[in-house]
Amino acid sequence: MSLNKKVLGIIFANMHEEVVPELTRERTMGSVLFGGRYRLIDFTLSNMANSGVDEVGIVTKSNYQSLLDHIGSGREWDMARKNGGLHLLPPFSNVTSGIYRGRLEALYGVSDFIKSSDAEYVIMSDCDVAATIDYNAVFEAHVKSGADITAVYASSNLTLESAAHSNVFGIDESGRVNNVMINPQISGECNVSLNIYVISKTLLMSMILDGAANGIYSFAKSILQARCGDYKIMGYKHEGYFSKITSVKTYYDANMALLCTENRKSLFNDEFPIYTKVLDNPPAKFDIGAKVKNSLIADGCIIEGTVENSILFRGARVGKGAVVRDSIIMQDTVIGKKCEISCVITDKAVNISDQKILGGSKNYPIYIGKKAQI
């Protein structure tokens, strides 16, 4: 970190997975596939790596096989380190940890890990947001403002549905959070929390121990909301592209938003590369007769048909004469010859045999589960 203060990163891999039960049936929120070649955890983990946070704990709860596969030793994020580096923190890993009910309880479960770090500050993040954020800037703002907690938010036009899965901040002229609404029944332009917080380790530890002693487990409700006036909670506004996943529909929209050049420039920026697991795929191949328009294509794809307004993950295949529109085709999915696919999300390794016609609509894309054979 630029101010020569050590910062410990804590990532919650499972938080919010109930909002996309289809996508998280066999994986954590952090390992949900996103943007053609990524998993959601890649964004916050890369932000940490790019901001010099080189000691990171990933708190997980269940269903974490795919997360372990993806993260490995943390080498791709330059976090396979002798000092610091990446630590996976599954439940039941020590005497205080079990299945947690909220963020404070989860932190209590890993309190030994936090205590053992010599960092002065902690940055916490969930995995439901894809955004490129300079955590250094957040941290600098935190130190400068003398805040107890700095919370990252973004301005967003919320629907009733997405607000029901979000926390919304009221923010005064000085940038201080003066009101915290949890899953509110509102819609319109709001300061939506991105669930990224900077806090000093000492203060966090006292909150954790206090919470454990008093049976308090929710950070949002019992700290941010209940003690909004006691603590100095400062907002840090993220400008530029972000997507917060609150449903399969918002997941679909967030991916599709990457077809817009401005959003891509904001998320994929040369100075803040997004790291992910390397699969050693060859380049994508476009056959004779392929027609591809306005699409994101990852390496290893072989395209013989038509692809429009779609996202193809690594190793996807589109057969001759097939037409894929407005769809998200995840890793290793095979779409047979002369298929017609529109507004469909196929999970990993789906196999759609020749001449099938599948269609959803943009406000209700069809989801096809992992390894389905159609």
Partner 1 sequence: MYTRKECVAMLLAGGQGSRLYALTQDMAKPAVPYGGKYKIIDFPLSNCVNSGIDTVGVLTQYQPLVLNDYIGNGQPWDLDKQYGGAHCLPPYQTALGAEWYKGTANAIYQNIAFVDRYNPEYVIILSGDHIYKMDYNQMLEFHKAKNADATIAVQNVPIEEASRMGIMIADDECNITDFEEKPAHPRSTLASMGIYIFTWKKLRQYLIDNENNPDEDKDFGKAIIPNMLNAGEKLVAYTFSGYWKDVGTLDALWDANMDILNPTIPIDLYDPDWKMYSRNPVLPPQYIGPEATVENSMVSEGCIIDGKLDNSVIFEGVTVEKGAVVTDSVIMTGSVVKAGAVVEYAIVGENSVIESGAHIGARPESCENRDDWGIAVIGHKVTVSEGQVVGAKQMIPDVKKK
Residues forming contacts to partner 1 in the complex (CB under 8 A) are 35-37, 75, 259, 261, 264, 267-268, 273-275, 278, 280, 282-300, 302, 311-312
Tokens of 51: 């901001």
Minimal distance, residue 275 CB to partner 1, in Å: 6
The distance of closest approach from Cβ of residue 263 to partner 1 in the complex, given in angstroms and rounded to an integer, is 11
Q: How far is the CB of 248 from partner 1 (least distance, A)?
A: 21
Between 34 and 139, CB nearer to partner 1: 34
Rank residues 117 and 331 by Cβ distance to partner 1 and give the closer one. 331
Pick between residue 211 and residue 300 the one whose CB is nearest to partner 1.
300
- Contact 276/290 with Cβ under 8 angstroms? no
Whose Cβ is closer to partner 1: residue 235's or residue 315's?
Answer: 315
Pairing of strands 33-34, 328-329: unpaired
DSSP secondary structure string for all residues of 76-144:
GGT---SSSEEEEE-TTSSTT-SS-SSHHHHHHHTHHHHHH---SEEEEEESSEEE---HHHHHHHHHH
In the complex, minimum distance from the CB of residue 181 to partner 1, in angstroms, rounded to a whole number? 34
Q: Say how many CA atoms lie within 13 Å of 353 toward its Cβ.
A: 2
Q: How far lies 360's CA from each of 247, 312, 326, 345, 348, in Å?
A: 16, 17, 10, 9, 18
Angle, in degrees to the nearest 10, between helices 135-145 and 40-50: 60
Shortest Å distance, C-beta 37 to partner 1: 5
Please, which residue, 24 or 50, has the CB nearer to partner 1? 50
